[in-house]
Amino acid sequence: MSGVLSLQPSYYEALKRLTLELAGVKLGEDHTFLIETRLSALARKEGFENLSDMIDQLFSRGQTRLAIHVVSALLERSARFFNDRKGYDVLGETLLPALHPLYRGGQLRILSFGCSSGQEVYSTAILADQMKDVFPGMQIEVTGVDYPSLALERAKEGRFTHFEVQRGLPIRYLIEYFDRVGEDWVVKESLRSRIRFLDHNLLSGIEDMETYQIVMFRGSLSQYSPPAIVRIMRNLSRLIARNGYLMLGSDETLGEMNFGFNEAPVAPGCYLKVGKDNSGSQEDVSEASRPAKTSQYKDYSAA
Amino acid sequence: MKVTPKKTCLIVDDSKMIRRVAARILRDLKIEPSEAGDGREAINMCRSSMPDAILLDWNMPVMDGLEFLKTLRKEPGGSEPIVVFCTAERDVMKIAEALDAGADEYVMKPFDSDIIESKFFEAGFV
């Protein structure tokens, strides 16, 4: 494989260290080829002659903006719409019904933490729109947050290729929520207007961010180092309002540390915030916000 | 031990290459493919043995995909197969027309195995 790789071996190690330090993510030995392909594309977009020139500049001048873009490109996930479908079933059948009594007549905020190119954000907004008659009087706003990156810029545009819209998005939703623009598909303004995107370092402080009733952080827990997981979970615990929920992937768990969430998931990968929040909310931790497990907990063990 | 029969899918496309590619993808999904080169041949095959699913091109000689679908849905047992259009047509009006005629899902060419699997999943087939 070395014949197709262009970087000095020492640069791979340096890039792995950079990714661990900036994002808390440990790249594996098998990421060498991924580093080449993802960063070559970034180098072209950044106007460099080749990948080596970009990496030389990154490590010789230590440009922060370039470092963030490099790490973001390395961490970009191959996202698809309605990925891990069980999570959306839980959202629609368990979490939103549980929160509806508290937020009827108000706004419920959902955050996609590490939203990459936005498929999770738009899928959630579509689900909310499809269920608006089921939850009258509850406005749902969806926000996506991630490191500043080319993927996040694409998410903000709401523009997807014809390959991307065919991964997980039912055709009826495509024609209801997207317009065809040239060869691409662009999210309609009616849906786009209910969505926000934020640039933010996922490991840094979140003091300037508002609280959310549901935070989705699904499918990426395993790639973070243990110290980074603790840091992220502490941040997420602060970001989630009391009575709110943390959604991990349906096969992910918090393990032994609960970070202010209830110990047992209310649904696969789904935890209720039972501790204090930093929103100043006076809402009571009432039974109204807890999903009725016997009637609404969906058993996926046989799925 | 009872062996569960494989699900079957009829690929209807006038391009032999597309039929071959699709058949390989379906076999990887543990679906047994059969092939027809146009709508007329496909209707005759369905009358003989109704497949579980149909991957259907739009523009074909003799009988096009839309006419085939409308005819199929009137046949005895013709409402049963899951029909996934697989066509170069990307116009929203065309897509809506296909859904109105009874298509369950819609693949826009070019496609890959991930898209085919995703669309069969959306249609409740895998």
Look at B102 and A42; give whichever has higher pLDDT. B102
What distance in Å separates the CA atoms of residue A96 and residue A128, rounded to the nearest whole number?
Answer: 9
Residue with tokens 């055709």, as numbered in its chain: A171
Q: Where does a domain end: A22, A45, A75? A: A75
- The pLDDT value recorded for residue A287 is 45
Domain-located, residue B2:
no
In chain A, residues 77-96 whose CB comes closer than 8 Å to chain B: 80
What distance in Å separates the CA atoms of residue B123 and residue A222, rounded to the nearest whole number?
Answer: 31
CATH code for position B55 = 3.40.50.2300
Q: Which chain B residue has its CA at the smallest distance from A174's CA?
A: B92
Give, as one character, the DSSP assignment of residue B54. Answer: E
Residue type, A123: S
User: Could you tell me if B115 lies within 8 Å of chain A, comparing CB atoms?
Assistant: yes
Beta bridge partners of A97: none
pLDDT mean over A84-112: 94
Give which of A163, A171, A175, A109 is closest to A139, Cα–Cα. A109
Domain carrying residue A30: 2-75
Q: Where does a domain end: A75, A102, A124? A: A75
Supply A78's token pair: 């191959």
Domain carrying residue B84: 7-122
pLDDT mean over B100-118: 93
Residues A6 and A117 in one domain: no
Give which of A141, A114, A138, A117 is closest to A195, Cα–Cα. A141
User: Could you tell me if B96 lies within 8 Å of chain A, comparing CB atoms?
Assistant: yes
Confidence band, pLDDT 50/70/90 cuts, at residue A275: low
Number of domains in chain B: 1
Confidence band, pLDDT 50/70/90 cuts, at residue A285: very low
Domain-located, residue B77:
yes
Residues A172 and A286 in one domain: yes
User: Could you tell me if A175 lies within 8 Å of chain B, comparing CB atoms?
Assistant: yes
Domain-located, residue A179:
yes
pLDDT mean over B117-121: 91
Instruction: Find which of A171, A177, A184 to mutate to test the B interface (most B CBs within 10 Å of its CB).
Output: A171
Residues A118 and A34 in one domain: no
Number of domains in chain A: 2
pLDDT at position A69 over 50:
yes
Domain-located, residue B30:
yes
CATH code for position A154 = 3.40.50.150
What is the interface pTM, i.e. ipTM, of the complex?
0.89
CATH code for position A46 = 1.10.155.10
- The pLDDT value recorded for residue B31 is 94
B47-69 pLDDT tens trace: 999 999 999 999 999 999 999 99
Average pLDDT of chain A, as a whole number: 84
- The pLDDT value recorded for residue A301 is 31
